[in-house]
Amino acid sequence: MQDQGEPRSAVVAEAEFEPQAGGSDVLAGLLFATLGLVALWGGWAYPAGSSLDMGPGYLPRLVCGALVLTGIVMVCRNLRSRSLRLPTLPMRAMGCVAAAILLFAVLVERAGLFVACLVCVLTAALGDPLTRWREVPVVAVVFAGVAALLFGYLLKLPIRIWPL
Amino acid sequence: MSDVFSSIAGGLAVAATPANLWYCFLGALVGTLIGVLPGLGPIATMAMLLPLTYYLEPTGALIMLAGIYYGAQYGGSTTAILMRLPGESSSVVTCLDGYEMARQGRAGTALATAALASFLAGTVTTVLIAFFSPALTAAAQRFGPAEYFCLMALGLVAAIVFAQGSLLKSIGMILVGLLLGLVGADVNTGLDRFTFGVPELRDGVGIAALSMGVFGIAEIVLNLARPQQEGERAQPVSALRLTAADWKAAWPAALRGTGIGALLGILPGGSAMMASFASYSTEKKLSASPERFGHGAIEGVAGPEAANNAGAQASFIPMLALGIPGNSVMAMMAGAMLIHGIAPSPNLASAQPQLFWGLIASMWLGNAMLLVINLPLIGLWVRLLRVPYRMMFPAILLFCCIGIYSVNNSVFEVAMLALFGVAGIVLMLLDCPLAPLVLAFILGPALEENLRRAMLISNGDLQIFASPICIGLLVATGALLLMILIPSFRRTRAQISEE
């Protein structure tokens, strides 16, 4: 990457994501309410029973209802008073780390632990603005090797280690 | 009484076997290490090592995991004092006066104070656990489902009251946690709830994937995207010595800190961080010269450091005595027990006396070891901070992935880790506290089961909640709720959140 060696603070200056005090209340409220509604809808078929003889649907309905209510109160309390500013997600780091974990999941049984670790480290390195690309392949091979040695041969976890 | 002593002696015999001493040392060492390193907390570390403990004998495994927790409280103070860099959230307060002391050339005094205060707190709290747990266990024998329900309700309310930031957000996070805990086959009827047809979800959401995702993975991502916290250059370490005046000022503060920490640690929903904040403000209020605080007051180091260590250790009491984990770290301990087929319950002391007393005795040994690990090796820990994060985070990430996969050899769990990681980031950026979520997730299933069982036993009669224990617990819950309405408490709470 071209920003090699720059101090971390300079690199990320553009990606300020300090959460906004009031705005985050509205967003969190919306999130809670949506989650509650979706779960309410998903769990509608579970028999609720009565408070004296609770069925499997009793507590879910109670929790979802309270969640929707909490969300609505949060939105209403903050809607007018503060401007709605979204905290920006650290998309690059988040995407790369999540992708690294998912690739590990896909590869570990198909290609073995060594390859999975290798790909995981390389993918995660894409998410770090301070990555040194001459260093990364070495780091990846060393870490994958250590992982294979430690978990495969020393601890003898029942994990496939090599592709073949 | 003599019973307790013979039990402690038995526990010491268990803890002092070479294997257990080694695990205790290992735990304390790893704990110190992660305490020193910012960006890696005890929860994530315990989650990472959880699968590995599967290969250990249960007592050794728990001794090691416990060592990580209280070891991290020691380690966090070192960098807080020398570099104004809190390695652990609970040592944030230590930065205030500890770093000032270091700048005045009294770094050695501050470090020795922190270590000795922690040791004092660890010793007192270990004794407290040894005497308190059996009494609590005896009381718990009279607990029925209704009493358990009330106790857990108290825990959840306490988590809301003591969480930082907006109250509504804490309530929302508790509810989300309860909802996550509901996922899986219903215990009473076997009906699948919120599984979306995924067979892996029938056993419920994995605690390891959840806590590692929201604490570990989210932390990695935020560290990558955030300007790295630059600590000041490390102050030189002076002689590790306290003058007579230092002793005189420090020991009452350390004792008070121990009391505050033990109290807040026992409370469900309490945490080591809260304890250190509470101790600092108490010392400042009690001091004859509060203006010295923030300018290198030794009480401001001794009190909070004792408090966070006492808080960390006292939080074992509800888990060991009642089988109820009071915070997310204890939830990991409960998870470790479950991996070994030991259900956390009030019967632990009678069913597994070796494990119960061995664990308690190991805490005291561990605290003594930490004194040795910390004071002479401080130079080594400071040098460790020079390892750049770009080398550290791939190792943490790999450990998380392999750890989760090896719990059940399940690829699905690894995918859940990614999902909870993303969820954790979003929630953190929205300023939603994650500890209440994890606590509710753990307590949720037991809460529901006990409520339904209580209703079943009493045939729907609410009279079952009229037992003296229930009323006591419900009154305590109500009192906590009322505390929110008291203006001065609200102000203190807001103040702590700001700091």
Contact list in B for residue A155 (CB cut-off 8 A) is 52, 55
Q: Chain A: nearest CA to B47, how far in angstroms?
A: 16
Nearest to B240 by CA among B76, B90, B81, B73: B81
Residue window 192-231, chain B: list those with CB within 8 Å of chain A. 193-194, 196, 217, 220-222, 224-228, 230
Q: Which amino acid is at B217?
A: I
Q: Chain B: nearest CA to A124, how far in angstroms?
A: 7
CB contact under 8 A, B176 and A35: yes
Nearest CA in chain B to A70: B172
CB contact under 8 A, A90 and B221: yes
- For residues B45 and B34, is the Cβ–Cβ distance under 8 A? yes
CB contact under 8 A, B222 and A101: no
Partner-chain residue, chosen from B225, B415, B456, that has the shortest CB–CB distance to A17:
B225
pLDDT at position B227 is 62
Contact list in B for residue A17 (CB cut-off 8 A) is 225, 429
Contact list in B for residue A4 (CB cut-off 8 A) is none
pLDDT at position B323 is 80
Give the whole-angstrom CA distance, residue A3 versus residue A154: 39
B372 reaches A (C-beta below 8 A): no
Question: Which of A31-35, A86-90, B142-146, B192-196 comes out lowest in average pLDDT?
Answer: A86-90
pLDDT at position A20 is 42
Give the whole-angstrom CA distance, residue B73 versus residue B312: 8
Average pLDDT over residues B86-91: 76
Exposure letters B73-109 (e unless 16+ CB within 10 A, then b): bbbbbbbbbbbbbbbbebbbbbbbbbbbbbeeebbbb
What is this structure's pTM?
A: 0.83
pLDDT at position A86 is 67
Q: Which amino acid is at B164?
A: Q
Q: Chain A: nearest CA to B391, how far in angstroms?
A: 8
Nearest to B440 by CA among B211, B213, B178, B204: B178
- For residues B236 and B286, is the Cβ–Cβ distance under 8 A? no
CB contact under 8 A, A130 and B390: yes
Average pLDDT over residues B447-452: 88
Q: Give the best-scoring range by mean pLDDT among B160-169, B286-295, B422-431.
A: B422-431
Residue window 426-465, chain B: list those with CB within 8 Å of chain A. 426-427, 429-432, 448, 451-452, 455-456, 459-460
DSSP state of B322: I
pLDDT at position A22 is 57
CB contact under 8 A, B194 and A42: yes
Q: Which amino acid is at B171?
A: I
Average pLDDT over residues B92-115: 88
Which sequence spans correspond to the domains of chain A? 8-80, 91-154
Q: What is the CB-side half-sphere exposure of residue A126 using CA atoms within 13 A?
A: 13
Average pLDDT, chain B: 84
Q: What is the CB-side half-sphere exposure of residue B7 using CA atoms within 13 A?
A: 20
CB contact under 8 A, A63 and B194: no
Partner-chain residue, chosen from A15, A73, A102, that has the shortest CB–CB distance to B225:
A15
Average pLDDT over residues B144-164: 83
Extract the residue ranges of chain A whose pLDDT is less than 50: 1-20
ipTM field: 0.83
- For residues B441 and B230, is the Cβ–Cβ distance under 8 A? no
Note every long-range contact of A9-14, with CB atoms under 8 Å and residues 24 or more positions apart, other chains counting.
A9/B227, A9/B228, A9/B230, A11/A129, A11/A130, A12/A129, A12/B225, A12/B226, A12/B227, A13/B227
Nearest CA in chain A to B459: A52
Q: Chain B: nearest CA to A88, how far in angstroms?
A: 8
Give the whole-angstrom CA distance, residue B65 versus residue B161: 28
Partner-chain residue, chosen from A52, A73, A158, that has the shortest CB–CB distance to B409:
A158
CB contact under 8 A, B421 and A89: no
- For residues B23 and B64, is the Cβ–Cβ distance under 8 A? yes
Partner-chain residue, chosen from B179, B226, B398, that has the shortest CB–CB distance to A63:
B179
CB contact under 8 A, B421 and A97: yes
Tokens of B266: 């026992």
Tally C-beta pairs within 8 A across A and B: 206
- For residues B170 and B453, is the Cβ–Cβ distance under 8 A? no
pLDDT in tens, B112-140: 899 899 999 999 998 888 888 888 888 87
pLDDT band at B45 (very low <50, low <70, confident <90, very high): confident
Contact list in A for residue B188 (CB cut-off 8 A) is 56
Give the whole-angstrom CA distance, residue B234 versus residue B236: 6
Partner-chain residue, chosen from B175, B388, B397, that has the shortest CB–CB distance to A97:
B397
Average pLDDT over residues B199-226: 84
DSSP secondary structure string for all residues of B371-386: HHHHTTTHHHHHHHTT
pLDDT at position B414 is 93
